Each structure stands twice: as C-alpha cells, then as structure tokens.
DNA sequence: ATGGCTAGCCCGGCTAGA
C-alpha cells in the first residue's frame, strides 16, 4: 500500500488555510508535516482540518514558529518538543507514530547570520535534535524526519553556489550538524531519488525570486535507511508557490511503497 | 552597499523570516 507524506512550511496557517485544505484535497496525503504555523494552540484551525477528514496534532506558539502533524489516522505516541533539560519556549518539534512508521515535523531555526546569537542557537538546537533522535529511535526503526531544515545540504541545492557558500543556510558547521543527525542512519529522500536534478523548495518573496527561480532546497524528508527500498518518488509541488498569497515555501511530497 | 516581500503584533513601525 502506497503512503504519501508531505512537508510544508506554510508561513502562517491562518493565511494559508484555504490553500492547505486544497492541498489535502489535491494530493490526499496520509501525513502532512507543517511548520511556521504562527498561531497559538487556541487559534489552531482544528475544525476546518477535521472537516477535511484529517486528525491534527500540533504545538503552537504566539506569533512565531509552530509545528503540526495532520493525518488520516490518529497518531499514537505524540511527542511535543525534545523534553530535554533546556527550557525552550520555541515550538519547533513534534512527532507521532502511525502504525510502524514514526513521523516528525521539524522547524529548524533560521540562524540569521553566521556567528550571530541565533546562529549558535541553531547549532545548539541541531545538536539537541541529534541527541533526541539518537535517544528515541533505534537505527532499525522506520522513521521520517521532515520539515524546514533551513540548511541547503549541498552547493547544488542553491541557485548560486558561489554566492551562498559559507553564508547562513550553507555554512560548514550547519551542514556538519545536519550530517551528524543523518549519520545516525538517515538519507535525504529527494536527493536519493533525484540524483542529478537541481530543484528548490523556497524562494524569496522579494526580487521576483520565484519568477527568476532564485531558490534554495531547504525543506527535506530524511528517511531512515531501514526503509530506503520503500522510497518511490519525491517531488516538489511548485504550483503551490504560484498565484495569490502563496507561502514562500513549496510543499515536498514523498511516496513510500 | 542596501534592500527589495510578507506576517504578526496591535495600529505604526518594529521583529522575524532565509
């Protein structure tokens, strides 16, 4: 039986609700990982999502961040936040179990600029993610970690590698931090299935970024190696970035056999 | 060299995103 998992940074679920409902209708996904809800738990549009036939587990926050898992089947073992010793109000991690498969929705901090306080918060957050993954799941467990990683994994994942190399989203330490989590036994689904293509998942609202295809591939679905052979297709829903009031990110879709 | 949109917050100019 085919399973379809989507990750999408909506940049405000309130502003994107009609597009989100249309997305559910268009792709009929089994699980959707959302990031940047920009709403509190009280304001989460649960009724509209349930009316579309989906369960929702979510972790909101006032004004910023926020992550959710939408699914046909209600998840078990929902985890919100890392539950580590760090007192952190930023809502950036949620996971749930759907039968055998565990799915996490992550919103990795942006980092602002290399060397800034936010950059070090990002590196520290990525280390907390690695630690959480290591402690939570064996490397045999079927797991998908999907979301806005705010890291372009390789130079070819940017529209202008010479301009981006070493900058925020492309620095050595960010890429090394991503690789440290992947070294626990994960592969980049899109790159695994599309070896030589250059495709992006985010385009700046400014400078006609989308029209000129000045983008980055920063929204990823990391799949555990134990399910590598189940990965069938992974593609970007570029059309979702078109039209009136799009998010600046496009959804990424993974099909599992 | 800079900022160029968009969203939230609460109502005008900030912060934040990437």
Residue-wise pLDDT tens digits, A80-136 = 999 999 999 999 999 999 999 999 999 999 999 999 999 999 999 999 999 999 999
Q: Which of A148, A157, A188, A219 is catalytic?
A: A148
Show the CA angle centred on residue A248, arms to residues A244 and A249, nearest 5°.
115
DSSP summary character for residue A240: G
| CB-based contact A234:A187 (threshold 8 Å) | no
Looking at every residue in chain A, the average pLDDT score rounds to 98
Which tokens belong to A185? 């036994």
Q: Which of A107, A119, A188, A248 is catalytic?
A: A107
Is this structure's pTM higher than 0.95? yes
pLDDT confidence of residue A4: 98
Q: From the Cβ of A167, is strand B under 7 Å away?
A: no
pLDDT confidence of residue A192: 98
Give chain A residues 179-218 with Cβ within 7 A of strand B: 202, 204-207, 216, 218
**Any idea which residue has 């929204």 for tokens?**
A219
Residue A102 dihedral angles phi and psi, to the nearest 5° = -100, 135
pLDDT band per the 50, 70, 90 thresholds, residue A139: confident
Which tokens belong to A159? 């529209």
Q: From the Cβ of A163, is strand B under 7 Å away?
A: no
| CB-based contact A7:A221 (threshold 8 Å) | yes
pLDDT confidence of residue A153: 98
Distance CA A248, CA A158 (A): 15
Q: Does residue A148 have an active-site annotation?
A: yes
Q: From the Cβ of A11, is strand B under 7 Å away?
A: yes
Q: Give strand letter and number of the nucleotide nearest A118 (CA to C1').
A: B16
pLDDT confidence of residue A49: 98
Q: Give strand letter and number of the nucleotide nearest A247 (CA to C1').
A: B6
Nearest to residue A108, comparing CAs of A84, A130, A126, A86? A126
**Order of strands across the sheet that contains A3-9:** A55-59, A67-71, A31-35, A3-9, A252-256, A231-236
Tell me the average pLDDT across A30-46. Answer: 98
């Amino acid at each position: 039986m085919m399973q379809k998992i989507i990750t999408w940074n909506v940049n405000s679920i309130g502003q994107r609700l009609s597009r989100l409902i249309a997305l559910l209708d268009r792709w009929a996904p089994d699980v959707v990982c959302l990031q940047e809800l920009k709403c509190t738990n009280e304001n989460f549009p649960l009724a509209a999502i349930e009316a579309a036939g989906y369960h929702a587990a979510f972790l909101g926050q006032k004004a910023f961040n926020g992550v959710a898992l939408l699914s046909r089947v209600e998840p078990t073992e929902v985890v919100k936040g890392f539950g580590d010793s760090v007192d952190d109000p930023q809502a950036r991690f949620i996971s749930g179990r759907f039968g055998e498969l565990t799915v996490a929705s992550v919103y990795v901090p942006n980092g602002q600029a290399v060397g800034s306080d936010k950059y070090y918060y990002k590196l520290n957050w990525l280390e907390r993610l690695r630690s959480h993954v290591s402690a939570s799941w064996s490397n045999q467990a079927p797991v998908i970690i999907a979301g806005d990683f705010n890291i372009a994994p390789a130079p070819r994942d940017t529209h202008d590698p010479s301009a981006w190399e070493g900058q925020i989203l492309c620095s050595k330490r960010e890429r090394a931090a991503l690789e440290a989590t992947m070294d626990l036994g994960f592969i980049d689904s899109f790159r695994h299935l599309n070896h030589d293509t250059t495709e992006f998942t985010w385009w700046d609202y400014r400078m006609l970024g989308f029209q000129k295809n000045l983008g980055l591939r920063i929204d990823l679905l990391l799949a555990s190696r134990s399910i590598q052979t189940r990965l069938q297709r992974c593609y970007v829903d570029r059309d979702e970035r078109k039209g009136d009031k799009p998010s600046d990110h496009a959804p990424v879709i993974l099909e599992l056999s």
